[in-house]
């Protein structure tokens, strides 16, 4: 798949994963790489950028097994950004699906 496309999608994935609960970096990376082939390290620059842009806040939380973990939490800004991205995504996939349907029927 095209890089440009995947990058945008990766951002959406991270935001979606944080919508219902706060998660730590490793967890986010695992959740995403279970579903799509990514270079895991590229999630961290993304997390950092979105944090700097004010879409996430972070906090450290002790863990039962081992050292404390950095958790990411969606801010209000992040939530409304997620809403925008989701709307774009739905419009986009609906469009593509429609084209696929028509294309398949025509053949």
Chain positions contacting other proteins, by CB under 8 A: 1-4, 6-8, 10-11, 24-26, 29, 33, 37-42, 44-49, 52, 65-67, 69-70
Residue nearer to other proteins on the CB measure, 67 or 103: 67
The nearest distance, CB 41 to other proteins, in angstroms, is 4
Q: Within a 10 A sphere around the Cβ of 76, how many other Cβ atoms?
A: 9
Query: What are the angstrom distances between the C-alpha of 21 and each of 14, 40, 73?
Result: 11, 21, 7
Q: How far apart are CA 10 and CA 5, in angstroms?
A: 9
The nearest distance, CB 4 to other proteins, in angstroms, is 5
């Amino acid at each position: 798949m095209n890089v440009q496309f995947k990058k945008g999608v990766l951002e959406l994935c991270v935001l979606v994963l944080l919508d219902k609960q706060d998660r730590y970096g490793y967890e986010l990376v695992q959740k995403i790489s279970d579903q799509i082939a990514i270079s895991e390290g590229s999630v961290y620059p993304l997390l950092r950028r979105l944090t700097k842009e004010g879409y996430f806040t972070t906090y450290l939380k002790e863990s039962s097994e081992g050292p404390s973990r950095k958790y990411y939490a969606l801010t209000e800004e992040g939530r409304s950004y997620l809403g925008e991205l989701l709307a774009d995504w739905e419009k986009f996939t609906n469009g593509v699906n429609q084209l696929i349907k028509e294309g398949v029927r025509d053949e």
